[in-house]
Amino acid sequence: MKQDKFLLIKTIGDGFWYDMHHTLSNLLLAEITERIPVIYWGSRSMYSTDETSNAFEQFFLPVSKDGMDRLIENINRDADIQVADRYTDIECIMCRMDKTCPYFGLNSRDIYRRMLKKYIRLRPEVENEINTFYAANMEGKTMLAVHIRGSDKILEVSHLHELNKLYPTKIKTYLKERPDAYIFLMTDCKDILEEYKSVYDDKLISTDCKRVLKNGGGVHFQEYCNNKLKGIEIIKDTWLAAKSDYFIGNGFSNVSRAVCELKDWQNQEVTLLF
């Protein structure tokens, strides 16, 4: 019998979409190396609820029929198992593809989009929460989704405050052409939310989630009574933004990248600020 080959994709233990991009990159690696992917976000994950939980499967269905139980069985049989627990850039994996690979010639955004579509399936209860909010607040409206980062992003992007000053002009241009449009605001900052509420009033739509002050620590580092909620909040915002008609985001943010990857946007429908 042919021996099964596995790729165990573990958590990096960082922000949600950093971990997701790590996971998606390794799903690509599993395909091109013909390995069975098994995703296990253990206790190291910021979204883990206890020592034994698989945080990934709190939000998504398993990517293959072979989960941790099957993998453990094969460990006992000295199976061929590789472990992905260090971040590998997708560009490095793309370099290993040849013309026989169905993803050859695609850019990283297109490959991430295909990995998301092929492997990532929301759990029914998570999908229902997203759809319920959309039906109550966004359905039937022209929607501009806007993602603005604050808090600890300043440590990565030194000109973050200058970048954030570019949003009002972009929004104004969009609303001038579509005066009936609404704004779905994704932000990790209380200050930014309050500022935009004062400007756009009832045109502004946002979810009820934990936020921090503009120069505070990142939301993903905050204490939650249940770390699953921390993941639900970012998933909900990201999927809702991808249901919008137009998107303005932060080109340095994994969350903004994810919104671009979840949907096959036309070029004129997305603006990333750098």
CA distance 229 to 252: 25
Q: 89-93, 94-98, 145-149 — which one is most confidently predicted on average?
A: 145-149
Q: Are 23 and 98 a contacting pair, CB within 8 Å?
A: no
pLDDT tens-digit series, residues 157-213? 999 999 999 999 999 999 999 999 999 999 999 999 999 999 999 999 999 999 998
pLDDT tens-digit series, residues 68-89? 877 887 776 777 999 999 998 8
* Residues 223, 224, 226: CA angle, nearest 5 degrees: 145
- State the average pLDDT over residues 252-269: 96
> In DSSP terms, which residues pair with 37 in a beta bridge?
7
Looking at residue 4, its pLDDT comes to 84
pLDDT tens-digit series, residues 201-256? 999 999 999 999 887 788 888 889 899 999 999 999 999 999 999 999 999 999 99
Per-residue pLDDT at 135 exceeds 60: yes
Looking at residue 72, its pLDDT comes to 81
CA distance 46 to 222: 10
Residue bearing the bigger pLDDT, 62 or 213:
62
- State the average pLDDT over residues 33-47: 95
Q: Which residues contact 54 (CB under 8 A, 6 or more apart)?
A: 39, 40, 41, 42, 68
Element (H, E) at 21: helix 16-32
Q: Are 37 and 4 a contacting pair, CB within 8 Å?
A: no
Q: Which residues contact 9 (CB under 8 A, 6 or more apart)?
A: 22, 23, 26, 27, 30, 37, 38, 39, 40, 84
Looking at residue 76, its pLDDT comes to 66
Looking at residue 68, its pLDDT comes to 82
Q: Are 57 and 132 a contacting pair, CB within 8 Å?
A: no
CA distance 200 to 58: 35
Give percent of the chain above pLDDT 70: 99
pLDDT tens-digit series, residues 117-126? 999 999 999 9
Looking at residue 164, its pLDDT comes to 97
CA distance 212 to 188: 6
63 is written with which tokens? 């990517």
The structure tokens 């399936």 sit at 121
Q: Are 19 and 11 a contacting pair, CB within 8 Å?
A: yes
Per-residue pLDDT at 3 exceeds 90: no
Per-residue pLDDT at 24 exceeds 60: yes
Residue bearing the bigger pLDDT, 5 or 4:
5
Structural domains in the chain plus CATH codes:
5-119 (no CATH), 124-273 (3.40.50.11350)
Per-residue pLDDT at 2 exceeds 90: no
Per-residue pLDDT at 36 exceeds 70: yes
C-alpha closest to that of 30 among 63, 2, 62? 63
Query: Which residue type is seen at 195?
Result: E
CA distance 56 to 41: 6
Q: Give the 3-state secondary structure of residue 63.
A: coil
Torsion of CA 121, 125, 127, 133, to 10 degrees: -170
